[in-house]
């Protein structure tokens, strides 16, 4: 449950970053390049905030007696999250391309920021969550074995 709460806290970080970067790059890059940069920025920042919360709260009981130190866990978390990130990113890009011309999803929210900028990352986040929890639970935040 804690993992889902932390993950949920990453959603506004991710979507907020996508919004800010999309607006900042609105007139500077093509739509596909701008969307790619925006999605990557959102993913990168939300991974970092999620690591901090997971390290200190979700698996805080394991980090006191963990096999690995803080930076090693952060490296592992980024590796696991990178795999989930690839799933999220590819899903976001492919779904954006599919939805950007659909009347319902192409509705303007603010300038170049459209409804598909919310829907596509949310679907990607859902798929990445399954990968993230499973691998982080069994590898990143693994407690020491009994007798170690």
Q: How far apart are CA 94 and CA 104, in angstroms?
A: 17
What are the boundaries of each domain within the chain? 2-140
pLDDT at 141: 83
Q: How far apart are CA 12 and CA 84, in angstroms?
A: 18
| CB neighbours of residue 120 within 10 Å | 26
**pLDDT tens digits, 82-111:** 898 898 889 988 988 888 888 878 887 888
Contact 31, 112 (CB under 8 A): yes
Contact 15, 118 (CB under 8 A): yes
Contact 126, 67 (CB under 8 A): no
**pLDDT tens digits, 7-66:** 889 989 999 999 999 999 999 999 889 989 998 899 889 989 999 999 999 988 877 666
């Amino acid at each position: 449950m804690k993992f889902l709460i932390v993950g949920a806290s990453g959603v506004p970080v991710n979507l907020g970053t996508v919004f800010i970067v999309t607006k900042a790059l609105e007139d500077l890059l093509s739509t596909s390049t701008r969307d790619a940069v925006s999605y990557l920025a959102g993913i990168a920042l939300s991974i970092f905030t999620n690591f901090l919360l997971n390290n200190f709260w979700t698996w805080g009981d394991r980090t006191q007696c963990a096999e690995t130190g803080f930076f090693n866990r952060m490296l592992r978390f980024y590796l696991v999250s990178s795999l989930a990130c690839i799933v999220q990113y590819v899903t976001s890009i492919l779904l954006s391309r599919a939805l950007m011309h659909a009347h319902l999803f192409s509705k303007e929210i603010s300038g170049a920021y459209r409804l598909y900028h919310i829907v596509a990352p949310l679907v990607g986040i859902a798929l990445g969550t399954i990968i993230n929890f499973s691998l982080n639970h069994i590898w990143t935040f693994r407690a020491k074995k009994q007798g170690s």
